[in-house]
Amino acid sequence: MAKKNTAVKSDGQKGVTIALIAFLVLAVLIAAYSFIRYNTGVFQRATTAVSVGDQKLSAMDVRIIYKDTRASYLSQYGSILEMYGVDLANIDTQQCLFDSSMTWGQYFLNQGLNSAVNTATLMDLAAKDGREITDEIKASVKANVDGVKDAAEEAGISVKKYLAGVYGSHTTLSDVESAMTKQYFANEYYKDVNAGFKAEITDDAVNVYYNEHKDEFDAADYYTYSVPYKAEDDEDADPNALTQEQAKARADEILEKVTAENFDEVVKAYADENFETAFVENNPLSNYGVDVDWIKDGAEDGAKAVVPDESSHEFLVVLLVKRYLPEEPTVNVRHILIKTEEPATPAEDATDEEKANIEKANEELAKKNEEAKAKAEDILSKLKNATEDEFAKAATEYTEDTGSKSNGGLYENVVQGEMVAEFNDWCFDESRKPGDTDIVETDYGYHVMYFVSQGDVAYVATIKNTLTSDKYQEFINDAVDKSEYKINNLGISLM
């Protein structure tokens, strides 16, 4: 009969078993952590990334603020960056144009963190000032959340997929609502602070700033005529072209004879039948050019000179008629935009089936555009006799213009020609008076308009905005320094 095995494991064997179990448990925990971190967003919502006083922004809040900051920057400056050779599709890995020590990705992250810190600081200041989240803020947030839903629907994708594309995986509408509420709460305080600073700016302060920065605001009317010459090393130049010495002599001779009254007539005697002179009118001295530089260098009305331009191989005969400060009028206006879309045009080589599909899509689009028009007319009928505050509240709820939604549809100190033609013409109609309402159709859609008032003269508005911005920047920098804000690296890593 076989003996029963009564052997027991040695201490060494027990240790191996325990270590194996511990390893397996750890592996499971790591896997669970990774799953929760990358597949749920739980940690991003639960972990504080930035805090100031009692105000906290989660990693998810900061991620949304960062993404919004990045998108805003690219929307405003993207076309300019492309002119400098930046590939917007892969911008994050490329070297930042104005800071070679970092990539664009690092730059955007820094900007996003700055925005988050400023938001938390403003929230803290607002709370200490007794501010609360108002019904207006809640309405603005709701309208924006509804806008996200509409954008997803227009894109033909789910809200979940849309948010993942805009803000990253596992972002929910609740996350967006939370982050927006905090940003709107901060922004309301920011607007009040800014309004206070702007109200403090006196006419004397505006005049002082103007006198210190005249070249940024003045314009000039002047005549100019170019006398070109061939470069010494230009082997392909016209053999009959003037040398530098000959061109200078001709320019000097013309200069002796020209006045504001006879400029064209004098030049005609020295040029062929295709000669060109230019009367440059209302040219801002903030522009560049040797002619403009000569005027900025102290030329007085009626002065004339031969100005060399070596880079273009020419001498400019310049006669200054007058230098002055333009006083362009501006207007303040609110609007509610209901967007429309332009119908598609089939390609020349489109098949009959493709043309039929485009025609069908255009028919559906025409129905949507008619619905947009009807919606605009319905809004106008409700706001025909509205006060400005009532219109602003409606704009926050209905407008599809993201640039003015949070501001009650307001555009302040709009200058002539700044907006699209139809919008511009309505605003600058001589008969326009405060409280006027109407619908204006542009390529963007239907604009329900509300005329607020005449604004500041353009240069005054610019100076006030600059001084206000300077005051606010000093204010927020000081507030951030005093706030002893905290950035949690773990929270940042979870973004």
Q: Over the chain, what HEC string results?
A: CCCCCCCCCCHHHHHHHHHHHHHHHHHHHHHHHHHHHHHCCHHHHHCEEEEECCEEEEHHHHHHHHHHHHHHHHHHHHHHHHHCCCCHHHHHHCECCCCCCCEHHHHHHHHHHHHHHHHHHHHHHHHHCCCCCCHHHHHHHHHHHHHHHHHHHHHCCCHHHHHHHHHCCCCCHHHHHHHHHHHHHHHHHHHHHHHHHHHCCCHHHHHHHHHHCHHHHCEEEEEEEEEECCCCCCCCCCCCCCCHHHHHHHHHHHHHHCCCCCHHHHHHCCCCCCCCCEEEEEEECCCCCHHHHHHHCCCCCCCEEEEEECCCCEEEEEEEEEEECCCCCEEEEEEEEEECCCCCCCCCCCCHHHHHHHHHHHHHHHHHHHHHHHHHHHHHHHHCCCCHHHHHHHHHHHCCCCCCHHHCCEEEEEECCCCCHHHHHHHCCCCCCCCCEEEEEECCEEEEEEEEEECCCHHHHHHHHHHHHHHHHHHHHHHHHHHCCEECHHHHHCC
Say if 8 falls within a structural domain.
no
Kindly list the strands in the beta sheet with 330-339, ordered across the sheet, starting from the edge strand earlier in the chain: 410-415, 330-339, 445-454, 437-442
- 406 in Cβ contact with 140 (< 8 Å): yes
Residue 271: pLDDT band (50, 70, 90) is: confident
* CB neighbour burial string for 246-282, b if at least 16 within 10 angstroms, e if fewer: ebbebbeebbeebebeebeebbeeebeeeeebeebee
Same domain membership, residue 413 and residue 486: no
pLDDT band at 115; cut points 50, 70, 90: very high
With bands split at pLDDT 50, 70 and 90, how would you rate the model's confidence at 22?
A: low
> In this predicted model, what pLDDT tens digit does every residue of 374-396 receive, in sequence order?
999 999 999 999 999 999 999 98
pLDDT exceeds 70 at position 4: no
Same domain, 54 and 188: yes
Q: In this structure, is residue 3 part of a structural domain?
A: no
Q: Mean per-residue pLDDT for 343-363?
A: 90
The structure tokens listed for 29 are 């925990």
In angstroms, the CA 88 to CA 78 distance is 7
Asked if 148 and 171 sit in the same domain, the reply is: yes
For residues 350 and 395, membership in a common domain is answered with yes
Rounded distance between C-alpha atoms, residue 228 and residue 244, angstroms: 8
**Pair of tokens at residue 131:** 């501010």
21 occurs within a structural domain: yes
Residue 438: give the domain boundaries.
330-456
Q: 319 and 339 share a domain?
A: no
Whether residues 270 and 368 fall in one domain? no
Asked if residue 142 is part of any domain, the answer here is yes
298 and 388 inside one domain: no
If asked whether residues 422 and 471 sit together in one domain, one would say no
Q: Tell me: the pLDDT tens digits for 142-172?
A: 888 988 998 899 889 999 999 999 999 999 9
Task: Say whether both 352 and 413 belong to one domain.
Answer: yes
Residues 442 and 468 in one domain: no
Shared domain check, 441 and 336: yes
Q: How far apart are the C-alpha atoms of 371 and 445, rounded to whole Å?
A: 11
pLDDT band at 276 (very low <50, low <70, confident <90, very high): confident
**β-bridge partners, 319:** 223, 304
What average pLDDT does range 406-422 have in this prediction? Answer: 93
CATH code for position 303? 3.10.50
pLDDT over 70 at 34, yes or no: no
Which of the listed residues 305, 324, 343 is the one where a domain comes to its end? 324
Q: What is the CATH number of the domain that holds 430?
A: 3.10.50.40
Would the pLDDT of 38 be above 60?
Answer: no
| Residue 63 · residue 495 · CB < 8 Å | yes
One domain, residues 76 and 173: yes
Residue 70 lies in a domain: yes
* 467 within domain boundaries: yes
What confidence score (pLDDT) does residue 12 get? 57
Q: Is residue 4 part of a domain?
A: no
> What CATH number is given to the structural domain containing 86?
1.10.4030
Distances (CA, A) of 124 to 47, 60, 300: 19, 19, 54
> What are residue 335's phi and psi, to 5 degrees?
-150, 160
CB atoms near residue 485 (< 10 Å): 19
Domain count, the chain: 4
What share of the chain has pLDDT > 70, as a percent?
A: 91
The answer to whether residue 177 scores a pLDDT higher than 60 is: yes
* Domain presence at residue 208: no
| Cβ-based neighbours of 159, under 8 Å, separated by 6 or more | 148, 149, 152, 173
Report pLDDT digits (tens) over 456-467: 999 999 999 999
Q: Answer yes or no: are the C-beta atoms of 170 and 41 closer than 8 Å.
A: yes
